[in-house]
Chain A
């Protein structure tokens, strides 16, 4: 019986790590897979989502709506940023990293100046349940559900909608799509907005569980980077399996040596993986297929 409880604990932790990795990485992965741009302001879009959803929730909006509100605001800001700053730089991918880092500095320090060093949050909803000797937060289960729902939603968007069809065409051969009448710059803009909105969603979902400080984005970015590096450019063949594998590694190391060693182990695993699979899991799967 204790073994069963132990197994449940491990599953719960691995699921929690999986949800965190998927939610924090998918916004980054959508943008990277689509345009080859790594958005270093990713953490600040997460920050934006968290702050907006926490403040609207405290104004009395129900939590799910508040979270969506956060995602929406982050998405709109993302589209503006894409139009003003990213668009001139598509030919220079390294410079987009540098520019988005500049945005990140402005956003973090600007938040610190305008809103102070912390912001009151909302408590974690739903309470907890007990299995064996330990109690578990129900909200964490909601987060796991949200991660799966996000993946499903993205899959539906990219395979079942007109936007998804045009987006996939634009990924494959941008010039061909353009000559067939696809407004590729609109597609890029919408994709960047979608990525930013997903970051905002992650921020909104995790806002009730963390302290809201202007540097909270950096709590997400390492995991997000690592997942995207291991996953490669494709979100379904890359990010999701990478998050599953890394989730298990992280949960095992965390329960063995604590939170920080989970993170260090994750990083070491990644550095070793890139030596073997430089194009990530999705690159490896796609090469096997052809």
Chain B
């Protein structure tokens, strides 16, 4: 009985002051979206479905950045560093040890763990040194750029770990895809319908998990730190530990994106960490609306779809458009496009109501 009430307490945190959306209408909409996303492979070609998993791969990194930046108020430019580290770690582990007996799943956990470990070390120096504001951004960006340059020069044959060549700027390839051990033949998650469902399931889990996290005590303290670090500290919270925890979780999510991307394309390059790549998560989260998980998720998918559509005309043009989008968002709708539209809609709606009631 006690266990049930505990579970109910957890589930009640799915709604709360830190997340947009509550009540029957919202959750009915949520179920509808999930059902539509689940039904999509029934109407589409397996090849297209596999390609579209690409969009989901990035959302974990965006949600992680939303936690760090939107809820914690710390601007980290290092998401792609953890993305790259986890991607390379997955490649090195699976190339060396193969994909039998579900090892790819262990490699997934290990790679995310390695990214989290790196985040813990970096986060320790940053948050316990009380680095905040703009410095946090430029130190994390420096780490990312140096890591990219380091991986780019590993072309020579001396750069190998076990049987995995790092291959410098050309990137590392031919690592196995994620494989689920199954009685009567392993399920290899090639970019196809099976991978789509696994990634979708993971995304729903992470989204709901993060909703619970930010509405829990931990999330409330994070928001208190974002609003006023001194006040949070005076109230007796060791803000450094909370910030470190948030950085760890956000970076591990970036690592998860890295592993999923690497196993999806069987490929990872140093440029996935570079200056341009590092800017993209910022664009998704800023444009979507960094202060809410749902807005970030929708915004990320929206911007990715725009980007994909524009890439037909050349990726340089698409990146210029992304830059313009970023500048315009910051200047005109600092809350983000999705949240801005939502508040505009609710204002129009309530004004309409008022107009109806007043004679």
Contact = CB atoms under 8 A, between A and B. Distances in A.
- Interface secondary structure of B, over-half rule: helix
B273 interface: no
A105 B320 contact: yes
Given A106-B323, A260-B149, A112 B139 contact: no
Contacts of A102: 279, 283, 322-327, 330
A85 B323 CA distance: 13
Contact of A110 (B275, B320, B334): B320
A275 B283 CA distance: 30
A113 B141 contact: no
B319 interface: yes
A222 B276 contact: no
Interface of B: 75, 122, 125-126, 128-131, 133-135, 137-139, 141-143, 145-146, 149-150, 153, 274-276, 279, 282-283, 286, 314, 316-317, 319-320, 322-327, 330-331, 334
**Interface residues of chain A: helix, strand, loop or mixed (majority):** helix
A94 B316 contact: no
Given A99-B326, A264-B150, A225 B138 contact: yes
Contacts of B145: 218, 221-222
Which 4 A-B pairs rank lowest in CB-CB distance, beginning with the nearest?
A105-B323, A102-B326, A106-B323, A102-B327
Given A105-B279, A225-B142, A97 B129 contact: no
A46 interface: no
Interface of A: 32, 36-38, 40, 85, 88-89, 92-95, 97-99, 101-106, 108-110, 112-113, 215, 218, 221-222, 225-226, 228-229, 260, 263-264, 267, 270-272, 274-276, 278
Given A105-B326, A110-B320, A260-B149, A98 B286 contact: yes
A106 B327 contact: yes
A216 to B, nearest CB: 12
Nearest to B144: A222
B106 to A, nearest CB: 30
Contacts of A94: 75, 133-134, 137
A103 B325 CA distance: 10
B87 to A, nearest CB: 20
B327 A270 contact: no
B125 A275 contact: yes
B134 to A, nearest CB: 4
A109 B320 contact: yes
Contact of B275 (A37, A215, A271, A272): A215
Contact of A112 (B135, B274, B316, B331): B316
Contacts of A93: 133-134
A68 to B, nearest CB: 28
A271 B330 contact: no
B217 to A, nearest CB: 25
A58 to B, nearest CB: 25
B282 A98 contact: yes
Contact of A229 (B139, B276, B286, B331): B139
Contacts of A275: 125, 128-129
A32 B137 CA distance: 14
B137 A97 contact: yes
Contact of A97 (B122, B134, B322): B134
Nearest to B319: A109
Given A271-B125, A274-B131, A38 B137 contact: yes
Nearest to B149: A260
9 contacts: A38-B138, A95-B334, A99-B331, A105-B279, A105-B323, A106-B320, A270-B139, A274-B125, A278-B131
A154 B155 CA distance: 43
A267 B143 contact: yes
Contacts of B334: 92, 95
Nearest to B124: A275
Contact of A101 (B128, B131, B282, B317): B282
A264 B146 contact: yes
B331 A101 contact: no
A259 B126 CA distance: 26
Contacts of B143: 267, 271
